[in-house]
């Protein structure tokens, strides 16, 4: 009996000690702080020429808001090319991406760059089989699909400026991060993938962005016939997402099914869908954005679908739109093929893209 009592007391003390240790543990470093530290280390590692190429003014509107998801052979990028870095400096760049994102966000971004290598190799194989054109334009395009063809640039100096930003851009990737007096914004964020699912080889079945597809499809499948009548706007699938590069503000009104008309289970599905996109940012930036969306009220969110809703493999478009969030998803045609093995997504904050609300400026996005 005494042994049992002593054991309980010991366990209680251990438990209390653990709780007390947790209570006294330092708070995690903020996203803005860890990103600033990583950015400063990367800039310090660059040569004077590369540093000059990488740095722009925080108020350089054209440089900040001119980005693209297209391959490098179609649209030139500003800043420093990853392929021009040595291995130690590339590692510092990846440290900066990791400091700016969650584990899932980093995995998606790194995976998107890696997918360009897969797209390159698969396209060469299809050319050899006569399934893709073999001409100068196509050969230039295929050559541009590489993990080295991504660029980064800074706006303001993270070592000295309270307000600064950085951009990572290349094929299917444009990530904008802004720090304003210790707060971090992470929109606009464009992520895409081709192939959406690797179809052959040792990595067959591998996906970089699987849940964006599944979460959206689960949402539309949960709707009743009456709800679908409001959510589904058309059978005609658009060419691409609406507010892609240079398209900011093109969606003039909230459309589709208001979240206030969803059941509790459907509302839960909608929150899971929103979190899939917002949680690509690091923990406190993502948490602050979710609080902002929640403060607007669930009734302010709208779910929209365009295209077929009976087959997850077909081309379709969906949108989640509210005062503080715009999510668009588009299933694209693949290059040189009709299959929809190609996706585009974007997440925006209609009131604070590029941290403009905090900076008290309004950026006119360039195309």
* Token pair of 348 as six digits: 């925006």
Contact 181, 265 (CB under 8 A): no
Q: Where are the beta strands (DSSP E) in the chain?
A: 55-56, 80-81, 150-155, 163-170, 173-180, 183-185, 189-193, 232-234, 257-258, 302-306, 317-322, 325-332, 342-348
pLDDT in tens, 293-324: 999 998 999 999 999 999 998 899 999 999 99
What pLDDT digit, counting tens, does each position of 263-293 carry?
Answer: 999 999 999 999 999 999 999 999 999 999 9
The pLDDT value recorded for residue 208 is 95
Tell me whether the omega of the peptide bond preceding residue 188 falls within 30 degrees of 0, making it cis: yes
Q: What is the pLDDT of residues 134-153, one digit of tens each?
A: 999 999 999 999 999 999 99
Model confidence, pTM: 0.90
pLDDT at 10 > cutoff 50: no
Mean pLDDT of 100-112: 97
Spans of all domains in the chain: 29-187, 209-351
């Amino acid at each position: 009996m005494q042994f049992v009592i002593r054991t309980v007391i010991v366990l209680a003390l251990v438990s209390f000690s653990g709780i007390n240790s947790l209570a006294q543990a330092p708070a995690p470093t903020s996203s803005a702080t860890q990103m600033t530290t990583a950015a400063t280390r990367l800039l310090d590692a660059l040569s004077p020429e590369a540093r000059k190429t990488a740095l722009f003014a925080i108020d350089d509107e054209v440089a900040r808001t001119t980005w693209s998801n297209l391959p490098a052979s179609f649209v030139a990028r500003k800043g420093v090319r990853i392929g021009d870095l040595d291995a130690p400096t590339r590692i510092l760049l990846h440290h900066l991406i990791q400091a700016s994102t969650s584990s899932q966000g980093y995995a998606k971004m790194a995976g998107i760059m890696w997918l360009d290598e897969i797209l390159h190799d698969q396209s060469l194989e299809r050319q050899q089989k006569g399934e893709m054109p073999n001409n100068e334009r196509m050969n230039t395009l295929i050559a541009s699909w590489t993990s080295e063809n991504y660029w980064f640039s800074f706006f303001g100096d993270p070592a000295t400026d309270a307000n600064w930003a950085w951009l990572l851009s290349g094929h299917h990737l444009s990530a904008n991060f802004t720090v304003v007096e210790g707060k971090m914004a992470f929109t606009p964020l464009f992520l895409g993938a081709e192939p959406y699912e690797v179809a052959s080889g040792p990595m067959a079945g591998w996906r970089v962005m699987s849940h964006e597809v599944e979460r959206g499809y689960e949402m539309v499948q949960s709707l009743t016939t009456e709800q679908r009548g409001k959510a589904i706007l058309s059978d005609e699938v658009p060419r691409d997402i609406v507010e892609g590069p240079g398209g900011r503000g093109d969606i003039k009104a909230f459309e589709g099914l208001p979240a206030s008309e969803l059941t509790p289970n459907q509302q839960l599905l909608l929150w899971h869908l929103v979190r899939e996109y917002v949680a690509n940012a690091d923990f406190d930036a993502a948490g602050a954005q979710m609080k902002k969306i929640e403060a607007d009220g669930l009734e302010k969110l709208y779910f929209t679908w365009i295209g077929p809703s009976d087959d997850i493999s077909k081309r379709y478009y969906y949108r989640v739109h509210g005062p503080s969030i715009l999510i668009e998803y588009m299933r694209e045609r693949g290059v040189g093929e009709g299959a929809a093995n190609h996706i585009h997504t974007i997440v925006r904050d209609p009131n604070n893209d590029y941290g403009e609300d905090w900076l008290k400026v309004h950026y006119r996005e360039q195309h």
